[in-house]
Amino acid sequence: MAKKKSSRAKSAPKRTTVLIADDHPIIRFGLRAALDESDTELVAEAENGADALEKILLHKPDVAVLDMMMPFKTAMDILSEIADLDSKTKIIVLTGSNSVESLENAIRKGASGYVSKDNCLADVGNAIRAVMCGQTYVSPLLSGNLLRTRLANKKPKPELLPQLSRAENQVLKLLGENKTNDAIAEALNISPKTVKNHRAHICAKLGLAGANALLSFALEHKESL
């Protein structure tokens, strides 16, 4: 006897809801075109920071792609304000700046992604997928060229990190490669809980505080680890 086909229709995979904000219409047009409609849904656009914040709170998108410098409120202002509101929206910052300090500041304030405007149309899809997987995305242009310039003026590793154990150095190195806790655990054949313990010990030894301080440090020093 032939099996009856299930009458229950398979639900389509949930698409990532996205808000884009930039005061330049051409940039917004390009971002719209760059979004993959098969796995993202554009729920709102904004042309200034105040409007962007209002629409983030209204639509609660999974991801908001924000220009660093907008009228009324900057991306940094928005990061500061939503941090106090327990917002689940992940923020990707678009920037035309080559400042490592700006990159570090954005990550410390809770940005999940930091994308160069020079290559934003190619990077934005990768950034959205990465942050939705729990990773922090930094454009290769920024994490490579800019951080190398900053690292040229840093002290060598033996002077920076003498107090870390071999296991802690391994964890820090993988963090600098934007690995998640689970990925680090798999690479080192340890449990995610052990990874979290190592991270806590590294922060204590290096005097780091804040949700993204360790990641910022790892990105900054990744070539010397």
CB 138 within 8 A of CB 150: no
| Secondary element (H or E) of residue 40 | strand 40-46
b/e map 82-94, b = 16+ CB within 10 Å = beeeebebbbbbb
The parent domain of residue 200 ranges over 154-224
Per-residue pLDDT of the chain (225 residues; tens, 9 = 90+): 445 544 444 556 688 999 999 999 999 999 998 887 778 999 999 999 999 999 999 999 999 999 999 999 999 999 988 887 878 899 999 988 877 778 888 888 889 999 988 888 888 988 999 999 888 888 877 776 555 655 555 444 445 566 788 888 899 899 988 888 999 999 999 998 999 888 888 887 777 776 677 888 888 777 766
Q: For residue 11, tell me if it sits in a domain.
A: no
d(CA 103, CA 149): 13
Q: For residue 5, tell me if it sits in a domain.
A: no
- Among 147, 168, 198, identify where a domain stops: 147
Domain match, 107 and 27 both: yes
So what's the pLDDT on residue 158? 42
CB 65 within 8 A of CB 21: yes
So what's the pLDDT on residue 223? 72
Domain match, 138 and 196 both: no
Domain match, 171 and 66 both: no
Domain match, 91 and 160 both: no
Q: For residue 142, tell me if it sits in a domain.
A: yes
Domain match, 51 and 142 both: yes
- The values of phi and psi at residue 64, to 5°, are -120, 125
Domain match, 107 and 191 both: no
Q: What is the CATH number of the domain that holds 82?
A: 3.40.50.2300
Domain match, 139 and 168 both: no
So what's the pLDDT on residue 203? 82
So what's the pLDDT on residue 104? 81
